[in-house]
Amino acid sequence: MKKHLSLLVLFVIAYANAQEKKTPNKAKDSIIKTEVVNVVTSYVPKITDAFKIKQKPIIKHTKETQKKALEYQIFSVPVASTFIPKSGAMKKVDLGKREKLYSNYLSVGFGNKISPFLEAYLRQNESYDSEFGAHVKFLLSANPVENTELSSTFYNIDLNLFHTQQERYFQWTAGLDAEKDKYNWYGLPTNINFTDATISTIEEAQSYNHFKVFGQIKPGDSFLEEANGAIAFFSDSFESVEFLVDGNAQFRFPLDNFHRQLNDLYINTTINYLGGSYAYAYDATTPVDYRFVTLGVHPTYKFNIQDLAIQLGAKSYFSMDPENSENTFFIYPDVEISYPIVKDFANVFIGASGDLTTNMYQSFTDDNPYLSPTLDMRQTNKKFDAFGGIRGKLSHQFSYNAKVSYADIENNPFFVLNQSKSDGSNIAGTNGFTFYGYEYGNSFKVIYDDIKLISFFGEVTFDGIKNLTTGANLQFNKFTLTNELEPWNIPKIKGEVFGTYKTNKWYAGTNLYFVGNRKERAYDPLPVNTFTSIDLKSYFDVNFNGGYHFDDSFSVFLNLNNVLNNSYQRFNNFNVQGFQAMGGLTWKFDSLF
From 282, 239, 236, select the one nearest 417 (Cα to Cα): 282
Q: What is the pLDDT of residue 258?
A: 84
Mean pLDDT of the chain: 87
Higher pLDDT, 128 or 88: 128
Q: Is 256 left (phi over 0), alpha (psi -120 to 50) or beta?
A: alpha
* 363 C-beta neighbours (distance < 10 Å), count: 12
User: Lowest-pLDDT range, 46-50, 442-446, 500-504?
Assistant: 46-50
Percentage of the chain exceeding pLDDT 70: 83
Check pLDDT > 70 for residue 50: no
CA distance 270 to 316: 10
Residue 583's DSSP bridge partners are 110, 558
- The model's confidence at residue 168, banded by pLDDT at 50, 70 and 90, is confident
Percentage of the chain exceeding pLDDT 90: 69
CA distance 342 to 392: 9
Q: What is the pLDDT of residue 285?
A: 82
Number of separate helices (H) and strands (E) present in the chain: 3, 27
- The model's confidence at residue 84, banded by pLDDT at 50, 70 and 90, is low
Q: What is the pLDDT of residue 74?
A: 65
* 330 C-beta neighbours (distance < 10 Å), count: 18
Check pLDDT > 50 for residue 11: no
Q: What is the pLDDT of residue 368?
A: 95
**pLDDT mean over 304-314:** 94
Check pLDDT > 90 for residue 410: yes
**pLDDT mean over 395-424:** 93
Check pLDDT > 80 for residue 18: no
Residue 404's DSSP bridge partners are 388, 456
Q: What is the pLDDT of residue 381?
A: 97
Q: What are the angstrom distances between the C-alpha of 276 and each of 9, 90, 376?
A: 146, 67, 11
Check pLDDT > 90 for residue 54: no
**pLDDT mean over 117-136:** 90
**pLDDT mean over 316-326:** 94
Q: What tens digit of pLDDT does each residue of 211-250 get? A: 999 999 999 888 999 999 999 999 999 999 999 999 999 9
Q: What is the pLDDT of residue 60?
A: 61
Check pLDDT > 80 for residue 42: no
**pLDDT mean over 444-466:** 94
**pLDDT mean over 67-77:** 65
Q: What is the pLDDT of residue 224?
A: 93
Q: What is the pLDDT of residue 415?
A: 96
Higher pLDDT, 425 or 43: 425
**pLDDT mean over 558-577:** 93
Q: What tens digit of pLDDT does each residue of 96-106 get? A: 667 778 889 99
Q: What is the pLDDT of residue 58?
A: 63
- The model's confidence at residue 1, banded by pLDDT at 50, 70 and 90, is very low
User: Lowest-pLDDT range, 32-41, 292-301, 379-388?
Assistant: 32-41
Residue 236's DSSP bridge partners are 208
Q: What tens digit of pLDDT does each residue of 539-558 get? A: 999 999 999 999 989 999 99
Predicted TM-score (pTM) of this structure: 0.80
SS (H, E, C) 138-206: EEEECCCCCCCCCCCCEEEEEEEEEEEEECCCEEEEEEEEEEEEEEECCCCCCCCCCCHHHHHHCCCEE
Higher pLDDT, 47 or 523: 523
